[in-house]
Amino acid sequence: MSRIDIRELAKQWGLVVAVDQVSFTVAKGSLTVLLGPSGCGKSTILRLIAGLENVSSGSIAIGGNEVTHMDPAKRGVSMVFQSYALFPHLNVRENIIFGLKVRGISQSERHSRLDESARMVGLEELLNRKPAQLSGGQRQRVALARSIVSRRRVCLMDEPLSNLDAKLRAEMRDEIRSLQQKLGLTMVYVTHDQVEAMTMADQVVLLKKGRVEQIGRPHELYERPQTTFAAQFMGSPPMNLLKLDLIEERSALAVACGGTLSPDRLTDGYIGVRPEHVQVGSSGLPVRVSATDYLGAETVLRLAHGGQTLFGKIDGHRRYNPGEQLHVSWSEEAVHRFGADGIRIEDPYRASS
Amino acid sequence: MPAAILLIAFTHYPTVATVIDSLFSKATAIRPSRFVGVLNYQRMLDDPIFWKVLANNAWFALGTIPTSIALAILMALFVNRSIPGRSLVRMAYFTPTVLPMIAVANIWLFFYTPDIGLIDQIASWFGFSGHNWLGDPTTVLPAIMVMTVWKEAGFFMIFYLAAMQNIPPELEEASQLEGATRWYYFRRVMFPLLMPTTLFVLVNAVLNSFKLVDHLFVLTKGGPDNASNLLLYYIFETAFSYFETHFAAALTVVLLILLSVMALLQFFLLDKRVHYR
């Protein structure tokens, strides 16, 4: 009914290519996050799906119907804007039922649908307030209710949580996710926050400069990033990438990698290791501590080897001082290999996980 | 303090002096000015020209204000979109505002001149005979109204344009997604959000319709037979052509009262319907 198929979608403004040959599918009732840094075209893709921008080439289908050039209102999508787009002169009630009034839905039905959606997001007490009298989180709920009340099966969200503080953001994240699952909505959710992507998504579409970098489940992106960009975008602090041709002590590196990789296979491209897999020990790659960030449960070490920087996430009880010389190593399973072009190399000597 | 001194010297004192003056009679060579109470006001009630100019002014306000506001909104809507040569069109709309009223009146004097004026020349191509637009008591007031609208609309457009650019575009996109037509969006979202601007423009337009008389000096001098005479011009004539300064003072007081009542009415009536962000 409400699956979304996007095929070779492209959008250009003059010579600027904002979206370049993007294809992906959102399964019915699932949540797909479009993730990427600002300017990667994720919001543009969302606006193309909504019909707020004209498609340059490619196609969009919703529920099996081609909608590429269809009027936005006829596509059966609702949208939550980053700024919430509430009508400032209307109270919460009027804001929520605005669309129902436009479509000429009867008063009794308007009433029951308003009650239902207001209850779902906890706005019953605030129906007579104006948006200016609401907090950021409450405005967000009005925008959600407006989307729910439309009973459209596809919901598009454009960075809906970016104007909220950290605590509220975590709360709303869970709430949006559980609403989406309860109502069985097909949701496309745009964010630049990898934590939101990791916690909410059934599927993540990672974008860079208008192109798809990787599509997969959150753990696939985290555990098997296909490019160095994906490796560094997911996770905080990001994955350590060591540029191999800058490393003199190849044998020390081979030891750090568990000893089974032979030094002559570590010649060009990159080695990637997640900070949490870095272990401090007596053997391995020699590094110097350049800074320590104590975070309570853990400590993030900033380590220098030659001109390259590594992050290590270690137990919070151990103390290190800047300037200290250490050796770091990691298990062989923790190693990600990337070619000089930044593309992942599957190790033929290792069973793929 | 300096501001208060200036205000008192040039605004408050003259106002009070005018009110006091209006209660005295005209001084002549043999009879000095003396207190006559409300005699000047009684005379006003019996003065047919006073009622005539008051009616003229009412028609003038009714004819120019809604038209120029509607036109201003239309023009602002038009230039708020991305059209080729947008800034040129905006400038063109605004030009009449930059011109002094006297210059505008002179331009329109040429338009309205019988037989050789622009309007009559164009009309003659279609076989209409010449018409003395400013000489005919039935057409002179509408002719002046058209000119005023032409001059005012561009000025008000600037305010509407600024207000429209303050409305976030997502509001239109959100209503578009809900299936609202452009007209529905204008009626239910944009126009209500423009209400503060409309109030501001309305107050200004009302004040202007009583204040602006420069064009009468050039075009008609209030004639023919007071058909285009407005209150302020009548005050001017009374005071400086007939030297009836005390009667003019009484007229001025009436004008002041009228203006304040209208301004207050607008604020209190419209305030309830205005949404300030």
B4 inside domain? no
Q: Are residues A211 and A303 in the same domain?
A: no
By three-state DSSP, how is residue B24 classified?
Answer: strand
Q: Are residues A8 and A125 in the same domain?
A: yes
Q: Are residues A56 and A201 in the same domain?
A: yes
CA nearest to A94, candidates A145, A157, A161, A160 = A145
Q: Is residue A352 scored above 50 in pLDDT?
A: no
Give every strand in the sheet of A285-294, ordered side by side: A279-281, A325-329, A285-294, A298-305, A308-315
Domain count across chain B = 1
Whether chain B has a CB inside 8 Å of the CB on A320: the answer is no
Tokens of A223: 């555990």
B65 inside domain? yes
Q: Is residue A351 scored above 50 in pLDDT?
A: no
pLDDT, position B98: 80
Q: How far is A130 from chain B (nearest CA, A)?
A: 10
Q: Are residues A326 and A194 in the same domain?
A: no
Which amino acid belongs to residue B224?
Answer: P
Whether chain B has a CB inside 8 Å of the CB on A73: the answer is yes
**Contact list, B177 vs chain A (CB under 8 Å):** 50-52, 72-73, 77-79, 99
Cβ contacts below 8 Å, chain A against chain B, sum to: 56
A159 inside domain? yes
CB B174 within 8 A of CB B191: no
A350 inside domain? no
CA nearest to A31, candidates A140, A191, A169 = A191
Tokens of A144: 């959600």
Q: Are residues A217 and A68 in the same domain?
A: yes
A107 inside domain? yes
Q: How far is A206 from chain B (nearest CA, A)?
A: 25
Q: Is residue A348 scored above 70 in pLDDT?
A: no
Secondary structure letter of residue B243 according to DSSP: -
A191 inside domain? yes
Whether chain B has a CB inside 8 Å of the CB on A77: the answer is yes
Nearest by CB to residue B275, choosing from A81, A88, A102, is: A88
> B255: domain CATH number?
1.10.3720.10
Q: Are residues A36 and A136 in the same domain?
A: yes
> A332: domain CATH number?
2.40.50.140
A348 inside domain? no
Domain boundary among A171, A197, A225: A225
A346 inside domain? no
Q: Are residues A242 and A202 in the same domain?
A: no
Q: Are residues A291 and A187 in the same domain?
A: no
**CA-based end-to-end distance of chain A:** 35
Domain boundary among A225, A241, A267: A225
B21 inside domain? no
Q: Do residue A87 and residue B177 have CB atoms under 8 angstroms apart?
A: no
Measured CA to CA in angstroms, residue A320 lies from A278, A289, A306 at distances of: 15, 8, 19
* Band (A92; pLDDT cuts 50, 70, 90): very high
CA nearest to B52, candidates B234, B261, B259 = B234
Q: Are residues A134 and A175 in the same domain?
A: yes
pLDDT, position A347: 65
Reported as a single tens digit per residue, the pLDDT across A146-169 is 999 998 999 999 998 988 888 889
**Contact list, B169 vs chain A (CB under 8 Å):** none
Q: Where are the beta strands (DSSP E) in chain A?
A: 4-13, 16-26, 31-35, 57-62, 65-66, 77-80, 154-158, 186-191, 203-208, 211-216, 240-243, 270-273, 279-281, 285-294, 298-305, 308-315, 325-329, 336-338
pLDDT, position B171: 92
**Beta bridge mates, B229:** none
**Contact list, B171 vs chain A (CB under 8 Å):** 85, 87
Q: Are residues A47 and A153 in the same domain?
A: yes
* Band (A176; pLDDT cuts 50, 70, 90): very high
A347 inside domain? no
Residue A29, domain extent: 4-225
Q: Do residue B177 and residue A79 have CB atoms under 8 angstroms apart?
A: yes
Residue B52, domain extent: 48-271
Parallel, antiparallel, or unpaired: how do β-strands A308-315 and A270-273 relate? unpaired
> A177: domain CATH number?
3.40.50.300
Pick the more confident residue, B236 or A204. A204
Nearest by CB to residue B168, choosing from A72, A85, A98, is: A85
**Beta bridge mates, A271:** A242, A337
pLDDT, position B247: 81
CB A2 within 8 A of CB A62: yes
Q: What is the mean pLDDT of each run of 10 residues along chain B (277 residues)?
A: 83 82 75 74 81 86 91 89 78 80 82 79 77 77 85 88 90 90 92 89 85 76 76 82 80 86 79 60
Reported ipTM: the value is 0.81
A302 inside domain? yes
pLDDT, position A23: 93
B12 inside domain? no
**Contact list, A50 vs chain B (CB under 8 Å):** 173, 177
**Contact list, A72 vs chain B (CB under 8 Å):** 176-177
Domain boundary among A225, A259, A289: A225
Q: Please write down the long-range contacts of A242-247, taking CB distance under 8 Å and 24 or more positions apart.
A: A242/A270, A242/A271, A242/A272, A242/A273, A242/A305, A242/A308, A242/A310, A243/A270, A243/A308, A244/A268, A244/A269, A244/A270, A244/A271, A246/A306, A246/A307, A246/A308, A247/A305, A247/A306, A247/A308
Q: How many helices (H) and strands (E) does chain A have?
A: 9, 18
Q: Which residue of A has its CA nearest to B185?
A: A102
CA-CA-CA-CA torsion sign (B161, B165, B171, B176): positive
Chain B residues at the A interface, defined by Cβ less than 8 Å, are 168, 170-171, 173-180, 184, 188-189, 192-193, 195, 275, 277
Q: Are residues A219 and A236 in the same domain?
A: no
pLDDT, position A34: 94
Which range has the worst mean pLDDT, A211-220, A257-266, B183-192?
A257-266
Query: Can you tell me the distance from the alpha carbon of B52 to that of B185, in angstroms, rounded to the nearest whole number?
Result: 43
Domain count across chain A = 2
Q: Are residues A311 and A169 in the same domain?
A: no
Tokens of A209: 């400069």
